[in-house]
Chain A
Amino acid sequence: MILEANNIKKFFGKNEVLKDISFNVKEGEVICIIGPSGSGKSTLLRCLNRLEEIQAGTIQILGEEITAMKNINNLRKEIGMVFQLFNLFPNYTVLDNITMAPILLNKMSKKEAETKALALLEQVGLTDFKDVYPSTLSGGQKQRVAIARALEMGPRIMLFDEPTSALDPEMVGEVLKVMKDLAQAGMTMVVVTHEMGFAREVADRVIFMDGGYIVEENTPKELFSHPQSKRCQTFLSSVLHPAGLEG
């Protein structure tokens, strides 16, 4: 088991946003987390690399209990994170965005880092943009650079926090394609997403969250065609058949 979360609780002040969450991820698995806004999906993901601290429960990643760690920096190198708003560093070029961390942290020499970065840029189709600054890129290009930046560290697991939610519709496909390739290459992935097509096609398991709980967890085939709970049925029918667009 690459990730094991047991009975997580998370509060923002008095507001309990995660209520007794337990789930696990096996090596090579792709998990998609879906659910309405405010259901706690993003918060859950952010707890997994301790961008948010949990108040109860345990999270083990690669066999290490992350809540007990004094210094999480080393483990974070094994956990790639991709954000909704990209969070590229505007003061570095595309290439430097990717190579800055591994060079600074002595994970690779400058030469190794650049060779690997160029290969990753080729993988995401952005070789020509290596020397530009992020402000000149489109949203889809920025997100592909952000994915390359996370992959450069050689993570064992990748966390995606609504990676296509801030993109113009015509750019969603290019990012999902990169993620699909990554999944097919065997990367372990936890993806918070509103892209039901992606979840259905790529995920090994889909988790449906609502109100801070995991309401349902199943294979995409089962979950999308036979949702068990009323809440999941309502959610799926509203995202798959938006009101007003029928007929």
Chain B
Amino acid sequence: MAAYFSLFIECLPTLLSGLEMTLFMAVVSLIFACIIGVILGIFSISNIKWLEKIATFYIYVVRGIPLMVLGFFIFFGIGGGLNLQFSALTAAVISLTINASAYMAEIFRGGIQAVDIGQVEAARSLGLSYIQAMMRVVLPQAIKIMIPAILNQFITTIKDTSILSAISVRELVMNGEIIVARNFKPFEVYSYLAIMYLIVITILSLITRRIERNMSYDSRGK
């Protein structure tokens, strides 16, 4: 047991630098994914047919492609094949962004559509414009509905960063593999990885639960 912990301390600097890279990739790509997701989500609920089609097509294509294939295609296919010369990290962030944005778009569309149409009608009949009704009435309610699904996507994306070890990004899994290749202790090292992912995701869940509680406006709320 003592050996297990002392090996952990020994590996910690390498693992932490991997974790840092993992979180960096996840945060940056989730920020972009949220922005693209909102835009595509708005496209898919708009009454303009061709915008709706763009969103539907994007979501259809991206959801059908495994993240690893997307990563290979962007890094080796576009980066290498077309000689654009971007780093593995850039390729990884682009892949994660594309992947997560499709799911985010669906989350936003679903959240907005889950708000009763009567809410828009009430707001519009008071004289609010469509945009005002969206901002003041629909979105605050939609976001509350979306939070569990968004958290889910955050967790998925954090875990999905590990797939990009395949294009040699030095994230948590990659660094774990490097350590195993040196010390031949896969049981210990991979269990360290599992625990570190678990800790990160637990923290994220706790933060989300707190946000959800603060947003509550039902009888148990404020």
Tell me if A224 is interfacial: C-beta within 8 Å of chain B. no
Bound Cα distance from A123 to B122, whole angstroms: 21
Give how many A residues have a beta carbon under 8 Å from the other chain's beta carbons. 27
Tell me if B78 is interfacial: C-beta within 8 Å of chain A. no
Tell me if A49 is interfacial: C-beta within 8 Å of chain B. yes
Ranked nearest first, the 10 interchain pairs of A and B with the lowest CB-CB distance are A87-B122, A81-B125, A101-B126, A77-B127, A87-B118, A76-B127, A91-B140, A135-B218, A133-B217, A136-B219
Tell me if B121 is interfacial: C-beta within 8 Å of chain A. yes
Q: Which of B97-140 contact A (CB under 8 A)?
A: 116, 118-119, 121-129, 132, 136-137, 140
Q: Which of A90, A105, A135 contacts B127 (CB 8 A)?
A: A105
Bound Cα distance from A150 to B123, whole angstroms: 10
* Shortest beta-carbon distance from B89 to chain A in Å: 40
Q: Are A87 and B136 in contact (CB under 8 A)?
A: no
Task: Known contacts A100-B136, A104-B136; decide if A90 and B217 are in contact (CB<8 Å).
Answer: yes
Q: Enumerate chain A residues within 8 angstroms of B141, measured Cβ to Cβ.
A: 90-91
Q: Are A89 and B118 in contact (CB under 8 A)?
A: no
- Number of residue pairs A-B, CB distance < 8 angstroms: 68
Q: Enumerate chain A residues within 8 angstroms of B222, measured Cβ to Cβ.
A: 133
Task: Known contacts A104-B136, A135-B217; decide if A149 and B126 are in contact (CB<8 Å).
Answer: yes
Residue of B nearest to A76 (CB): B127
Tell me if B13 is interfacial: C-beta within 8 Å of chain A. no
**19 A-B residue pairings within 8 Å (CB atoms):** A73-B124, A74-B127, A79-B125, A80-B125, A81-B121, A81-B122, A83-B122, A87-B121, A89-B122, A91-B140, A91-B141, A101-B126, A101-B128, A105-B126, A105-B128, A133-B218, A135-B219, A150-B125, A153-B126
Interface of B is mostly: helix
Bound Cα distance from A76 to B122, whole angstroms: 11
* Shortest beta-carbon distance from B135 to chain A in Å: 9
Tell me if A25 is interfacial: C-beta within 8 Å of chain B. no
Q: Enumerate chain A residues within 8 angstroms of B116, measured Cβ to Cβ.
A: 87
Q: Enumerate chain B residues within 8 angstroms of A100, measured Cβ to Cβ.
A: 136
Interface residues on B, range: 20 to 34
Task: Known contacts A83-B118, A83-B121, A104-B136; decide if A91 and B217 are in contact (CB<8 Å).
Answer: yes
Bound Cα distance from A146 to B119, whole angstroms: 12
Residue of B nearest to A100 (CB): B136
Task: Known contacts A87-B118, A89-B119, A89-B137; decide if A133 and B124 are in contact (CB<8 Å).
Answer: no
Q: A89-B122, A133-B222 are in contact. List 14 more A-B contacts (CB 8 A).
A: A73-B128, A76-B124, A77-B127, A79-B125, A81-B121, A83-B118, A85-B118, A88-B122, A91-B140, A104-B132, A105-B126, A133-B219, A135-B217, A135-B219
Q: Which of A87, A135, A136 has the most CB of B within 10 A?
A: A87
Residue of A nearest to B126 (CB): A101
Interface string of B130-167 (1 = CB under 8 A from A): 00100011001100100000000000000000000000
Q: Which of A27-86 contact B (CB under 8 A)?
A: 49, 51, 73-74, 76-77, 79-81, 83, 85
* Shortest beta-carbon distance from B146 to chain A in Å: 14
Bound Cα distance from A89 to B115, whole angstroms: 11
Tell me if B221 is interfacial: C-beta within 8 Å of chain A. yes
Bound Cα distance from A79 to B124, whole angstroms: 11
Q: Enumerate chain A residues within 8 angstroms of B126, measured Cβ to Cβ.
A: 76-77, 101, 105, 149-150, 153
Q: Enumerate chain A residues within 8 angstroms of B137, measured Cβ to Cβ.
A: 89, 91
Q: Are B125 and A133 in contact (CB under 8 A)?
A: no
